[in-house]
Structure formats: C-alpha cells, structure tokens
Amino acid sequence: GRRTTIVVSGTLNWINDFIEKRDTHHAQWEIRKVAKLMKELLNNRI
C-alpha cells in the first residue's frame, strides 16, 4: 500500500471542534477514523 502524510494546522479549539463533530456515528467511516487518530495523537501529547 501507499502511505500518505497529511499536515493539519489550526487552533486547539478548532481541532477539538473538528474531532467532536467528526467522531460520531453520523460521520463517514473514513473521516471518523481520521478524527479518532487525531484524538489519540492529541491525548498522547497533552
């Protein structure tokens, strides 16, 4: 498979808002997976 690197920048409030809105059963599975990974990365850093 191929590997893709995505760089995202924004305020912590924006990132938390993104995660809150996208880490739900209403979101498509792909974006939900991204939100869960972002949440995991932030929890390891904070």
Nearest one of 41, 23, 42, 25 to 33, comparing CA atoms:
23
* pLDDT score, position 45: 83
Residues of the chain scoring pLDDT < 50? none
Domains of the chain, residue spans: 12-45
- The pair of three-digit structure tokens given for residue 7, joined into one six-digit string: 């760089």
* pLDDT score, position 35: 96
